[in-house]
Each structure stands twice: as C-alpha cells, then as structure tokens.
Amino acid sequence: MDSVILDLHNKLKNNEITSEELIKETLEKSKNIQNDLNPFVTICEETNIPKSIDNVLSGIPYVAKDNLSTKDILSTGSSNTLKDYVPFFDATVIERLNKKNACLIGKSAMDELGLGGTGTTCHTGVTKNPWDKTRITGGSSSGSACLVASGVVPFALGSDTGDSIRKPAAYCGIVGYKPTYGAISRFGLFPFASSLDHVGVLTRTVKDAAIVVDNVVGIDENDMTSIDLKSNLTESLTNNISGKKLFYIKNMLDINNYENPSDDLKNIINEFNKTIELARSLGATVDSVEFDQNLLNAIFPIYQCISCAEATSNDSNLTGIIFGPRGEGENYIDMIKNHRTNGFCSLIKRRFIIGSYVLQKENQEKYFLNAKRVRRLLVEKFNELFKTYDAMIMPAAGSIAPKIDSINEVINGTGSMQEVLENYMAIGNFGGYPSITIPNGFVSGMPIGINLTGAVYEDANVLNIAYTLESNMNYRNQIAKEVE
C-alpha cells in the first residue's frame, strides 16, 4: 500500500467504515496522544463530516499547524501573544481543503511562531517524539510531525522556513515535503520570514504528500508570490528513475571532515550510502560534487541574518493593540512593551534582536545585504548544478532526534561541519526549491531520513525519485513504536 489516504478513501467509499466512525476514532486517538505527547494546541471536537465521499480527500482527517489561520478556530501560532486569537478568515490552504471536505480535527503545536527547530518553545509545552518520549520531535512543525508519526492522521499541514517540515519528518520517521516556493499560497500563514516561508505537508508516504499537495496548489489571488506548478504530482509517480542524475555534496559526507564524529553520524552516513547504492541499482547515477566550503559554512549565518530580519518586521503586528491580550502601561509604548515582553519566549526575543541588529542602518550593508548577496550566490551555484542533475540527495540531519533535556536554544555558530550538516536544508528555502525528506531506516533505534531537493518547478521529478526510493525500501507508512 503506497497511500494511506487512498486506502482510507476506499474504505469510506466501500462503507467499510463511515466518516463518523473514522472521525470518532481519530478524536479518541487524538486525546490519548495528547495526554502522552502533547502535540495539540486545539482538538476540534466538531468537524464538518461530509455527507458523501466525492473526492479522494472527502472525510479524511487531518491537522493543521497552529500558524495557519482557521476561521472560528483558535489559531495561536503557539504564542502567548495570540493565545486567545480566533481568526475570522481561513488560510487559502485551509479553504481549499475545506472545499474537498477534508476534516480538520485539530491544530498542532509548534515552536513559537515558527522560530525554532525543536518543538520545545510552544506556549502549551514541549511536544514529545512518539518513538522515544525523552526526545524532541524537531520543529517547528513539531505537533504535525508527531501526529502523523503516531498514526493519528494520514497527513498534517506544516510550514518550512529553514527545514521546519523536513527536519521533524526525519526525526519522526515520516515524509515531509515543501513544494516550490509559492506553489501553496501563504495567505493565512502567520509569517516567520516571508522570502523563505513555505507551506507544505507531512505524511507517511510520498504518494500521500503528492495527493494532498495536488489538491491545494495553484495561483491564489491573495498571494502575489503564488505560482502554478503546471503538473500533476500524483500522476508523475512512475516508480522509474532509470537515467536520473543525482548528486551529493562530497565534503559533507566525508567523515574525516568531522571533529569527533559520533557513532550515530557514522551510521547515518552508512545508511545514506546504502540508499545511494540502491538508487544506482535502480538505474540512476549518483555523483559526488565538491562544494565551496566557505559557501557551505555561510548557509547557517545567512539563514540567521535573513530569517531573523524578516521575522522582526513580520511580527511587528503583534502589539496587543488590535488583537491579542492588551498589555498594561501608561502609554502605547509601555503597552506594546509589556505585551511583547510577557508574550514571547526568550528564543524569539533573541532572534528579534539579531534581526533588528542586522537591519540597522550602520549594520545593514555588512550583515543583511551581504547575507542576501551570499544567498544569491548559493542559489546560482545550485541552479547551475540543477541544470545537470535532477536532484541533490543528502542525509536530512546529522543526528537522531536529540534528548529533550539536551536542548540548548542558544545559537552557537561554531562553524563546524556538524553545524553545516544540521542546517544545510535551508538551501531549499533560499532557492525556493521543492524538497522532500523520506525515512531512511533507523540508527540507535530512532528513525533517520534522507532529503531530495531539485530545481524550482521540478516537484514532479523530485517526488518521483523519492517515491521510487521509498518503494524499494522498507520504511513506508511507519507508525511510531511507542504508540502502537
């Protein structure tokens, strides 16, 4: 079975299960998982159960990350600044799923406003990894990853600014896919960094990711950056990659370039190498490409510069004046200060300060504008590579999901190869590339992932490569052990 959604759809259509039963069962599971792993901000007890099953998404339960605006449903972005905010309009992606009669059964927890990669900064507490409750899920789409990995829903919506879909997918042993920038409208997505933000999907199979995305893509008149992918992803899954050309970045996969590499890293690279061999055996070529180390080292710092700069501006609407809890104070400055001081976690405040610093008149040229220049340089290099290659294939992370109590939210900026490997997926956001993480086995009992990234608009090609690899491995539709 290559699609959980199709399987459920057939059961609904053949009356093996009714929509009511499916939703009831999902809600029961949701409550149990919530007690156990804390992935929800809101569980929607009342959802619109469709009267008939007229399309593949009819009656299929899903969750949406809490930074997607949902009409009449609490949407907090996991921030105290929005803890009681109930929007009066739907995000475009939600509206499109509503039209398909998909059933929103909850809003998932996330790192506050998307600015984090651990799932530990939600205002409702830490989301735990369903494979090992002492570990993080990764983030910022932490709740979405948790709920898909624990089998509560077949798909969840997420957002990805650096790797916020693809990294938690790797840590939780599922599929995380962000399409080309603009393919899914950002209207109604609480912004983190507009030039890097993508809406995407977390599923347990590649085909499910294709099915969901096929149903929500397309030009949106409310988003001037929206685009038309002009392809049907589901139909592009041929299970044939003969002749496809892949590459990986040689410097990042040479264990000798790592200072004190962990056993986990060695095993991750071993699993990766096996998958490359698999790709070759399926008729693809896989080249190793040496990449300018200075540019690789720049990825993380320029991501910090650009994302923090845009975030500090994007989140300036959170003043507690129009919405959100009104701050206390004698004047508007004190009121805003009070609201923001009490509302944001310390990680966000630090990032706002970084963002503000790099945008200051005297710093802008040196930091922000140079970061944008290096971003362009990197994108040009990758565009060049994508002229030759169908996709880049890489491990999705350099470790398994870390222990919750090991999380230190301070940015180190060590410039090590480990840091490069943990953060390189931001390339996908710099270039707006389609990028997908799929499971690639286990290390130390925890799931790991590989990532495939291709040229803009080449979503169908990238997804087909992912689908074909997935079909020839044994990690499709994994449900986490702890909750089975």
Give me the catalytic one of 29, 65, 207, 244: 65
Q: Is 307 a catalytic residue?
A: no
In the complex, the smallest distance separating the C-beta of residue 341 from another protein, rounded to whole angstroms, is 14
In the complex, the smallest distance separating the C-beta of residue 33 from another protein, rounded to whole angstroms, is 27
> Which one-letter amino acid corresponds to residue 19?
S
Give me the catalytic one of 3, 69, 79, 140: 140
Q: Is 384 exposed, middle or buried (0-12, 13-18, 19+ CB in 10 A)?
A: exposed
Beta strand pairing call for 391-395 and 155-160 = unpaired
Residue placing its CB nearer to another protein in the complex, 41 or 309? 309
Kindly report the backbone phi and psi dihedral angles of residue 157, in degrees, each rounded to the nearest multiple of 5, phi listed first. -85, 145
Q: Is 185 a catalytic residue?
A: no
In the complex, the smallest distance separating the C-beta of residue 233 from another protein, rounded to whole angstroms, is 24
Angle between helices 459-471 and 263-281 (to 10 degrees): 100
In the complex, the smallest distance separating the C-beta of residue 186 from another protein, rounded to whole angstroms, is 7
- Helical (H) or strand (E) element with 134: strand 132-136
Residue placing its CB nearer to another protein in the complex, 59 or 428? 428
Residue placing its CB nearer to another protein in the complex, 62 or 367? 367
Residue placing its CB nearer to another protein in the complex, 211 or 348? 348
Q: Is 30 a catalytic residue?
A: no
Kindly report the backbone phi and psi dihedral angles of residue 102, in degrees, each rounded to the nearest multiple of 5, phi listed first. -70, 150
In the complex, the smallest distance separating the C-beta of residue 91 from another protein, rounded to whole angstroms, is 6
Tokens of 131: 């494979």
Place of tokens 């494979």: 131
Residue placing its CB nearer to another protein in the complex, 117 or 355? 355
Q: Footprint of another protein on this chain (CB under 8 A)?
A: 67-69, 75, 77, 82, 85, 87-89, 91, 186-191, 193-195, 221-225, 309-310, 312-313, 315-319, 321-323, 332-333, 336, 356, 359-361, 364, 368
- List of residues 6+ apart from 370 with CB closer than 8 A: none
Separation CA 402–CA 444 (nearest Å): 12
DSSP 250-286: HHHH-GGGSSS--HHHHHHHHHHHHHHHHHHHTT-EE
Residues that are catalytic:
65, 140, 164
